[in-house]
Structure 1
Amino acid sequence: MWRKCLSSLVASQRQVQPMLRLMHHHHPNQAPATRPPKILITGGLGQLGIECAKLLRSQYGSESVILSDIIKPSQAVLENGPYIFADILDFKGLQKIVVNHRIDWLIHFSALLSAVGEQNVPLAVRVNIEGVHNVIELAKQYKLRIFVPSTIGAFGPDSPRNPTPNVTIQRPRTIYGVSKVHAELIGEYYYHKFGLDFRCLRFPGVISSDPPGGGTTDYAVAVFHEALRHGKYTCYLKPDTRLPMMYIEDCLRALLEFMRAPNEQLKRRVYNVTAMSFTPEELVDKLSKHVPHLHVTYKPDSRQLIADSWPQVFDDSDARRDWHWKHKYDLTNLVDFMVKDVQENYINVENGERQTIKI
């Protein structure tokens, strides 16, 4: 499902594309000046992959970005550019892809999220830790620029929560968080030891119209789907649980700008990025303006313990200083866009005849 609201981001990036491309020619791991970088996205059918591919294809051409996963893709995915099967636990298979397709950048989205990982720790270890070992070693071997996302979940109850600085205590208590700290550290190690062009952003909760995928912050997605369908929602977090968040358009723009930033601008390999922090209660208050009779009840479950150990406010001043990160969406326009997007792209599409809440 292509998101209509990303068109403005694509258009604005096109305007600065020629200038930014000039930046690429100064780094030895970059694609030659004669062609755009060839990019492989792993775990491409998750929340970020399809939209990331769409944005990168708008910059570098459809054939330059290869989406991959172990899931059978929809016809829409196949029609929008190259898609291949790639198992991140199969190192030789990954080698074959990098060599055959002359890959320059690897964007590694494959991961089990926080709540799902807690239900299947052995699988989370394999996907989130062994998988990272494979792609990091692959990037070293073939001199790729590699991006691995991290998360607010990489912090724990011993970390300062308001605000959480870029460098501080990290003692997470989920396998998701532990695996992300591991990814950050091994990526930095390969940078210092082998000169690997490793780049990592710690994302907050990312909000998009895609149905929730098992993250602790996904209440902020689920509430839109449930409110617009049924006018009610049962939240698994307490009403005053403050967490950092980011609209998907800002998230993808941050990724693109970070990947394009000249190496000499980067003072570190891992950066916090964020846009806003809010509580379920504050989100529901804004959403109630669109769904006047919205009824929300709060029944905290095991995800509350996870949220209570995470940052409340993220300090991303290093990213704003070093590579000039700026967010565009605050809570008000986030809600406006999400209501419109979920209504148009999901509810109206699923059942054109069904009566939907007027917005």
Structure 2
Amino acid sequence: GGLGQLGVGLAEMLRKQYGKENIILSDIRRPPAEVYNMGPFVYADVLDYKNLRELVVNNRITWLVHYSALLSAIGEANLALARTINITGLHNVLDLALENCLRLFVPSTIGAFGPSSPRDPAPDLCIQRPRTIYGVSKVHAELMGEYLHHKYGLDFRCLRYPGVVSAHTKPGGGTTDYAVQIFHDALSTGHHECYLRSNTRLPMMHISDCHRATIEFMQAPESQLSLRTYNIAAMSFTPEEVAEEIRKHLPHLRVTYNPDTIRQTIADSWPVRFDDSNARQDWGWKPAYGLSELVTDMLASIREKRTNAGLPVS
């Protein structure tokens, strides 16, 4: 799942640390030229165990980052496909990691919590009971990874990501995607129609903090880890709060609210804040971006992208 929202940026950071040739990006889609030219890229279908096995053996892989998944809103519209990719694909990767003694990272999500979970804040260990196939599949991943760690010593690591905000990739069908789209709309038309209520508070994180957390967690000595799955947090905001922050730069931004039943119901079942005290204590996690830094960076990045593409900037 390397061509999704997170893979390309993570590969870029890892290549700076470990060398371009030592990080292989993979997906089932054809990469854009700039990604293909960044470093090694291979076709890898998470449902094709033999192909995955060949890649691991032929390239002497030691770490595997498993980003392949159908996200919350998309998953609800494609239940059978989500179950196949998110659960069957996961089992292929778990088997592969066990067979080859790989260090395995599988992200989890805010969506792994449900309406009966503590919401403010949600701790690492609590009742989860999610109401989406995406959330159910991620709880399954957390528990399977932990089980295989305790039974066979698998070096399984998992972070529950909040909503991730990035200027570099298009929204991918998640419930928190409005927090990316609003910046594009602010700079293109000056109007954003939000599919959540104005007061819907959710945990969010700048993508560079997300990448850094992933790498620091993967590099942490196993002796420092008291858990296999950790929450990580940076900030929590509502659509109205991010709109107000954007208006400090673009006073003309207009936001209307037209809640989508499916996404609003999903958001209402999720935590409004993460308790990430264990990540901070065990392996030193600390975010760099708050809301004002996130807004400044997103507007600058998207303005630059639109200008370079010859598109008008509002």
- State the TM-score, normalized to the length of structure 1: 0.86
- Structure-1 residue corresponding to 2:242: 283
Counterpart residue type for residue 102 of structure 1: R
Shift of 1:227: 1.0
- State the TM-score, normalized to the length of structure 2: 0.98
1:321 to 281, 293, 304: 281
Shift of 1:264: 0.2
- Structure-2 residue corresponding to 1:56: 14
Shift of 1:351: 2.1
Counterpart residue type for residue 92 of structure 1: K
- After superposing the two structures, state which structure 1 stretch, 180-189 or 210-219, moved more: 210-219
Report 1:162-201 matches (<5 A): 162-201=120-159
1:341 to 292, 297, 301: 301
Counterpart residue type for residue 333 of structure 1: E
- What is the alpha-carbon distance in structure 2 between the residues aligned to residue 211 and residue 292 of structure 1? 24
> Does residue 1:309 correspond to 2:279, yes or no?
no
1:9-37 Cα shifts (integer Å, max 9, x gaps): xxxxxxxxxxxxxxxxxxxxxxxxxxxxx
Report 1:65-104 matches (<5 A): 65-104=23-62
Report 1:186-225 matches (<5 A): 186-209=144-167, 210-225=169-184
Structure 2 SS opposite 1:216: coil
Could you say what the CA RMSD is over the residues aligned between the two structures, in angstroms?
0.7
1:70-117 Cα shifts (integer Å, max 9, x gaps): 001111111110000000000111100000000000000000010000
- Structure-2 residue corresponding to 1:142: 100
How many pairs align? 312
Shift of 1:69: 0.2
Report 1:107-126 matches (<5 A): 107-126=65-84
Shift of 1:148: 0.1
Counterpart residue type for residue 120 of structure 2: N
> Identity rate of aligned residues, in percent?
61
Where does the alignment leave 5 or more consecutive residues of structure 1 unmatched? 1-42
- What is the alpha-carbon distance in structure 2 between the residues aligned to residue 214 and residue 121 of structure 1? 14
Structure 1 SS opposite 2:176: helix
- What is the alpha-carbon distance in structure 2 between the residues aligned to residue 256 and residue 351 of structure 1? 35
- What is the alpha-carbon distance in structure 1 between the residues aligned to residue 218 and residue 250 of structure 2? 39
Shift of 1:275: 0.2
Counterpart residue type for residue 158 of structure 2: C
Structure 2 SS opposite 1:172: coil
- What is the alpha-carbon distance in structure 1 between the residues aligned to residue 290 and residue 16 of structure 2? 25
- What is the alpha-carbon distance in structure 2 between the residues aligned to residue 254 and residue 44 of structure 1? 17
Counterpart residue type for residue 180 of structure 1: K
- What is the alpha-carbon distance in structure 1 between the residues aligned to residue 227 and residue 109 of structure 2? 16
1:198-226 Cα shifts (integer Å, max 9, x gaps): 00000000000122111000100000001
Structure 1 SS opposite 2:139: helix
- What is the alpha-carbon distance in structure 1 between the residues aligned to residue 48 and residue 170 of structure 2? 29
Structure 2 SS opposite 1:217: coil
- What is the alpha-carbon distance in structure 1 between the residues aligned to residue 264 and residue 160 of structure 2? 20
Where does the alignment leave 5 or more consecutive residues of structure 2 unmatched? none
Counterpart residue type for residue 104 of structure 2: I
